Every structure is written in structure tokens, then in C-alpha cells.
């Protein structure tokens, strides 16, 4: 499925005009100006799966955040915004093929880490409440309590409740169970499968973070199927060879000037892995 057909960023001349027109001189950075134009990236044409590849600092995250702002899709965590982000986004243009649906979103590593921390915080709150309830049980069970007026009714109920139940049944009846904690990789994978629904445009910033190679391959199958059968479009920034090898993906190499579409097997990262495994081929044979 294609919602977003193409996207254009301001060219270097347009950026320079904008910067020269700013009268104040108190800024030491015009970010995100002058990042993507460094390698003449002025247009992206999208497929159901499009990948932004490039070394650290090549502008993958910047490009995704700019597209997310222009398309006004949802995001969970705040991002590294600057004074000039809205001006830059105004100078961009997008061309859509279908209306971008409401469930579309950008997912970054920050979202995944936030999700893991929230589960931990929630469980910590539940643990704290559990300790309070243990004490409440003992107080209620062994209290020499006499009801004097209707004001004491709630306390009476509590005492009777405690006397009828064992400590663990008393605590459990008043407390929800801990939310199950998963490993970082399991949580990250769950986060993607929970947040990515049918019929949406999804921008994923380095989704391979925290995922083992096996989980990355599972994520690849999930994304490929979501694009083929469930009306999703993906724009993904990644260094992962598993994601770069996705079927039918169009890959832009942000390290090249001008930015070009590349085959995954021609990318430096992938060739580095390839050469490494080739060098160690003998060692694999010995097993």
C-alpha cells in the first residue's frame, strides 16, 4: 500500500535564502537546515517499504522526524526538536496517493525504552502497594476493634474481611497482578506488534535496537506481511542487514552525494559483514 508517494526537502539555495533572511544572529545552529542538503537529498519516492540507510549522523532520524511532522502522524515521545524545525517543515512538500490514516505513527527507540520503563514503574507501584496491604491485613486482623458509629463501617468491613481470609487472599483480592515483564528484546518486539495495526503509514527509526538477529528476522516477516497483506506502508531507518534485505524494499543511501537508490548487497555495512563471514568461512566448516 502507498499513502505517501513522494516527499521533497528544500534545496541548499532555498535553505541559504532562509538563513540569510533571519535578522537575529543569536543562533549557533540552524538544525535541521543544512543537514540533508549536504548530500543533495531533495526528493524521496516511496514504495510500500522504503529504507533510509547511512552512517551515524547522515540524517536518517532527521528525515524521519521531518516527514512525521509534515504528515502530522502520531508519536509517543518528544523528539530532538529545534527552533527552526517548523520553518524547515513548511519548506517541505509531500505528495500523497491515499489519505494518511489516523493510526499512522512514527516509532523511535525512545518509544520502545519508555514502554519498558513504564512497565517497570507500574510493577514497582504494585510492589509498593502489596507491602502496604500486608501491613493493613495484620493491623485489621489483630485489631481490637469495636464499631461505635456508622463512620466506622468501612473499617469494620476491612476487619471482617481480614479475619475471614488468609493474608495472601486478602492482598490478592485488593491488588491487580504485576504486569508481566519481558526481556528488552521481547518487549521491543511486542511494542512493534502492538503499535503497528492494519492500514497505516509507519515510520520506524532503527527498529533493530535491542533485537537479537533471530528477532530481527521475525520483525522482517511481520513488516513484510503487514505491507503485503494488511495495507501498511513503511519508511524505515536502519543499519541492520536483515532489514536492508527486505523483499522489494527501495533503499536510499544517505552517505552518497547525491543520495541514490542502492541494492542492499552494494551497501558498505552489508559488504563489511559479507567480507567478515567470508574471512572466517573455514572456521564454520570445522564444526
CB of 226 or CB of 241, closer to ligand ATP: 241
Q: Is residue 33 within 8 Å of 18, Cβ to Cβ? A: yes
CB of 271 or CB of 280, closer to ligand ATP: 271
> Distance between CA atoms of 156 and 151, rounded to whole angstroms?
10
Strand order in the sheet with 4-8: 43-45, 4-8, 93-96
Residues in contact with ligand ATP, shown as a per-residue x/- string from 90 to 129 under the rule CB under 6 A: ----------------------------------------
Residues 6+ apart with CB under 8 A from 286: none
Q: How many residues bind ligand ATP (CB under 6 A)?
A: 13
Nearest alpha carbon to residue 11 among 44, 33, 31, 29:
33
Instruction: Find the binding residues for ligand ATP in span 11-70 (CB under 6 A).
Output: 29, 31, 35, 54, 56-62
Q: How far is the CB of 76 from ligand ATP (least distance, A)?
A: 18
Report the SS3 class of residue 280.
coil
Nearest alpha carbon to residue 49 among 255, 223, 197:
223
Q: How far is the CB of 276 from ligand ATP (least distance, A)?
A: 20
CB of 52 or CB of 201, closer to ligand ATP: 52
The single-letter DSSP state of residue 145 is -
Q: Which helix or strand (DSSP H or E) is residue 44 part of?
A: strand 43-45
Q: How far is the CB of 269 from ligand ATP (least distance, A)?
A: 11
Instruction: Find the binding residues for ligand ATP in span 213-272 (CB under 6 A).
Output: none
Q: How far is the CB of 183 from ligand ATP (least distance, A)?
A: 23
Residues that bind ligand ATP (CB under 6 A): 29, 31, 35, 54, 56-62, 80, 82
Amino acid at each position: 500500500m502507498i499513502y505517501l508517494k513522494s516527499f521533497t526537502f528544500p534545496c541548499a539555495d532555498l535553505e541559504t535564502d532562509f538563513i540569510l533572511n533571519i535578522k537575529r544572529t543569536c543562533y549557533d545552529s540552524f538544525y535541521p537546515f543544512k543537514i540533508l542538503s549536504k548530500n543533495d537529498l531533495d526528493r524521496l519516492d516511496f514504495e510500500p517499504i522504503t529504507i533510509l540507510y547511512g552512517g551515524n549522523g547522515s540524517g536518517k532520524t532527521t528525515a524521519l522526524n521531518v516527514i512525521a511532522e509534515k504528515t502530522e502522524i502520531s508519536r509517543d515521545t518528544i523528539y530532538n526538536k529545534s527552533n527552526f524545525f517548523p520553518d524547515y517543515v513548511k519548506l517541505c512538500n509531500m505528495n500523497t496517493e491515499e489519505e494518511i490514516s489516523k493510526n499512522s505513527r512514527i516509532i523511535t527507540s525512545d518509544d520502545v525504552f519508555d514502554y519498558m520503563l513504564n512497565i517497570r514503574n507500574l510493577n514497582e507501584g504494585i510492589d509498593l502497594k502489596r507491602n502496604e496491604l500486608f501491613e493493613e491485613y495484620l493491623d485489621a486482623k489483630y485489631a481490637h476493634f469495636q464499631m461505635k458509629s456508622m463512620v466506622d463501617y468501612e473499617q469494620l468491613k476491612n476487619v471482617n474481611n481480614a479475619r475471614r481470609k488468609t493474608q495472601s487472599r486478602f492482598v490478592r483480592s485488593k491488588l491487580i497482578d504485576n504486569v508481566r515483564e519481558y526481556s528488552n528484546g521481547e518487549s521491543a518486539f511486542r511494542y512493534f506488534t502492538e503499535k503497528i495495526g492494519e492500514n497505516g503509514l509507519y515510520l520506524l527509526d532503527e527498529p533493530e535496537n535491542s533485537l537479537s538477529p533471530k528477532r530481527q528476522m521475525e520483525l522482517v516477516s511481520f513488516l513484510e506481511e503487514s505491507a503485503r497483506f494488511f495495507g501498511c506502508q513503511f519508511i524505515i531507518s536502519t543499519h541492520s542487514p536483515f532489514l536492508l534485505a527486505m523483499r522489494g524494499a527501495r533503499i536510499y543511501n544517505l552517505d552518497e552525494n547525491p543520495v541514490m537508490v542502492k541494492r542492499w548487497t552494494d551497501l558498505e555495512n552489508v559488504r563489511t559483514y559479507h567480507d567478515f563471514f567470508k574471512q572466517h568461512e573455514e572456521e564454520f566448516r570445522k564444526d
